[in-house]
Structure 1
Amino acid sequence: MNSHVTWKAASAAAEETDVIRLADVRRRFGETAALDGVTLTVRRGEILGIIGRSGAGKSTLIRCLNGLERPDSGTIEIEGREITGLGEADLQPLRRRIGMIFQHFNLLSAKTVEENVALPLKIEGWPKAKRLARAAELLELVGLSGKAKAYPSELSGGQKQRVGIARALAAKPALLLSDEATSALDPETTRSILTLLKDINRKLGLTILLITHEMEVVRGIADRVTVLDAGRVVEEGPVWQVFSRPQAETTRSLLSSIRPQLPAHIADKLTADVGGEAILGIDIAGPAATGPLFEGLSQEFPGGYRLNHGGVDHIQEQAVGRFFLAVPADKAASLASYVERLGAQVEVLGHVADHA
């Protein structure tokens, strides 16, 4: 059967299903397990962020998704079709359904902007007039209509990445894979690229998978987040939930740069010896984070606690609060119980002498 027809049929059947499904995917390189039983889904139209330390398996995962690596075991489905057993010829229709954007842009320096964008269509055999018309349409979408005849050397980093995004969209993919696409950009340019990706996701209903080590990228545009560590999924969920109450130690470490942390001059004095004041870390999210938390505490424990650090942020339109309280050791358990009844997660971080 013609592989293109088969792929179109599978895609049509999967119209209402997950775009990506991985089940128990494993890939080893010698003694190293790059992927160690990864199971995850990416839903149609969502933006999923995948985060992890270097060596967590992120790059191997993305190479398995576009068929550049074959897993040792497990299954990978793209738009309802299992791909792990496909030969190179059958993988070509798959790759046309997947757009890729890269950290270092991967533009051809000898070709103009419009030629770079139109290149995938030239490879597919589109006539010149049609592919240049599509390139013009995409350059308008990414805000570079006036740069069609320019060369990559004449562009800023952010403009180059916009060209890369336009090129990735040329063949109207169902899925966009972003591999550290903002890592080489300054913060202001990163924000503009993220805004563009979110706009494309909304306008086109495009499914996006972000591989990144930048927590601000995930926080800025992702709907859900999956955390990889040593080739395994250690945590996943809506971004606001994972960022407000990270459960895995890996997640806590990765998020330490963007979540309030106990000030060092207090953390250095922490001890396991009970006495003096207990230092509580409180995570609270949703409506409870903007409710009368401290008003209630003041009524229940007048003069019984001090706020050392913290505040309320907003992620995915959800309030996310993180606070550090100093509490007399003999009141710590009752105060923690009270706050937990309000929906908070409380951790006793240690004890210090009074008024640390």
Structure 2
Amino acid sequence: MPDFPTTEAGAPPILRLANVSKRFGAHAALAGVDLEIRRGEILGIIGRSGAGKSTLIRCINGLERPDAGRVEVEGRAIEALSDSQLRPVRRRIGMIFQHFNLLANRTAAENVALPLKIAGTSRAERERRVAELLDLVGLAGRGGQYPAQLSGGQKQRVGIARALAADPALLLSDEATSALDPETTEQILALLAEINRRLGLTIVLITHEMDVVRRIAGRVVVLHAGAIAEEGPTGRVFADPQAEATRNLLGVSAAAGLPAAIRDRLQADPSGEAILRLDLGGAAAPMPILSDVAIRHGVAIRILGGAVDEIGGDTVGRLFLGVTPRASADLPAILDQLAAATLRTELLGHVSPAR
């Protein structure tokens, strides 16, 4: 995956939501959402079904009017605009969908050209722009094919080209990879990252797929019960989630990933091997932490489980260790050294030697 883009320092946000709330009867779909989306970034918005993701995206593109709060697109408040006033704003927002939403009786080129035709663009300019966009998404020469003649990934590429036709400032992806197989998902994510890098286009990914966010989003927002439970750099949120809703969504628990044979033998008695969990992230993550500890304290260290990955451009991971110090009194100093080089170091317990 490509490097993550650097957004322009001090630039006004392309989208701002201030205390946005929306109810459907007794149900609060959104409850006081405050959010700024910076120009040029890829932002992931994740949450369980019913968390408010769909309502949020409909408030962003003006399909829903919030009951309270303010929605600004490129500095312009849209929540009180009439339908006719909203049209030019919506042209600044491209949409790609889970099920492509292509017109079956129109060719790929005609589907891409549709927003331009509605906007009154001349035929010559439409043809030039469509050819340019089909080439951009890897479908040069396929403009004459109908959706039924295209694979799922090709249909989504047409959908992306259509979303870019009016030269939007913001691209909203609503579960755009959910209907695709893993290999095609990877290709579409690579395409979106390339578009972000080449065009500087701001992209918002609305998804329940954790791996989509891990792969290309530089920042993530976690929605829970209509409110933002947590937000921050993707690597930090995935490696060290602060909110209980985020931990539940990511399936994080203190001993998750620790082999059952070790977990079932954990005890508080400090004799035997100390079992530690290390959450890694930031500049210290790639450093030789374990060898430094082993050399300094003369301890035996076993890696019991875990993994190291790259998320949001950062090296992050979780390791479970078995540490046998020369004396129990050495353990606090070992923990202090590990804690200074990790996001979190936790002593889960001890295990006695197997008999």
Please report the TM-score for the alignment, with normalisation by the length of structure 1: 0.88
1:295 aligns to 2:291 (yes or no): yes
Please say which of residues 314-323 and 93-102 is displaced more in the overlay: 314-323
Q: Distance in 2 between matches of 1:253 and 1:224?
A: 19
The 2-side partners of 1:46 and 1:355 are apart by 51
Aligned residue number for residue 7 of structure 2? none
Change (3 A) 1:26 1:186: same
Counterpart for residue 71 of structure 2: 76
Distance 1:72 1:264 in 2: 49
1:262 aligns with 257
Amino acid in the other structure paired with 1:192: Q
SS class of match (1:146):
coil
**Equivalent in the alignment of 2:234:** 239
Q: Distance in 2 between matches of 1:184 and 1:355?
A: 48
Q: Aligned residue for 2:6?
A: none
Distance 2:346 2:34 in 1: 30
Q: What is the alpha-carbon distance in structure 1 between the residues aligned to residue 87 and residue 353 of structure 2? A: 67
Which residue is equivalent to 1:338?
A: 337
CA distance in 2 between counterparts of 1:192 and 1:17 reads 31
Distance 1:35 1:354, change over 3 A: farther
Instruction: Tell me the residue number matched to 2:151.
Output: 156
Which moved further from structure 2: 277-286 or 111-120? 277-286
The equivalent of 2:91 in structure 1 is 96
Can you list the C-alpha shifts for 1:230-287, whole angstroms capped at 9, x where unaligned?
1111111111222222222332333349xx9423414751657445554321112233
Between the aligned partners of 2:114 and 2:196, the Cα distance in structure 1 is 23
CA distance in 2, matches of 1:149, 1:175: 28
Residue 182 (structure 1) aligned with residue 182 (structure 2): no
**% identity of equivalent residues:** 57
* Residue type at the aligned position of 1:298: A
Task: Tell me what 1:170 maps to.
Answer: 165
More divergent stretch after superposition (139-148 vs 267-276): 267-276
Instruction: Identify the residue that residue 11 of structure 1 maps to in structure 2.
Output: none
Counterparts of 1:355 and 1:242, CA distance in 2: 37
User: Counterpart amino acid of 2:338?
Assistant: V
What CA distance in whole angstroms lies between the structure 2 residues aligned with 1:144 and 1:274?
64
2:122 aligns to what?
127
Q: Unaligned stretches of 5+ in structure 2?
A: 1-9
Equivalent residues of 2:71, 2:78 under 8 A apart: yes
Asked if 1 retains the 8 angstrom alpha-carbon contact of 2:44 and 2:220, the reply is yes
Q: CA deviation at 1:221?
A: 1.2
Which residue does 1:227 correspond to in 2? 222
Counterparts of 1:270-309 in structure 2 under 5 Å?
273-276=268-271, 277-303=273-299, 305-309=301-305
The 1-side partners of 2:126 and 2:354 are apart by 69
Shift of 1:315: 2.8
Q: Which residue type is aligned with residue 219 of structure 1?
A: R
**Alpha-carbon distance, 1:62 to partner:** 0.2
Determine if contact 2:281/2:343 at 8 Å carries over to the other structure. yes
Structure 1: segments with no counterpart, 5+ residues: 1-14
For residue 89 of structure 1, give the secondary structure of its aligned residue in structure 2. Answer: helix
Alpha-carbon distance in 1 for matches of 2:299, 2:137: 56
Letter in 1 for 2:58: R
The alignment covers a number of residue pairs equal to 341
User: In the superposition, relative to structure 1, how do residues 39 and 349 fare at CA in structure 2: closer, same or farther (>3 Å)?
Assistant: farther
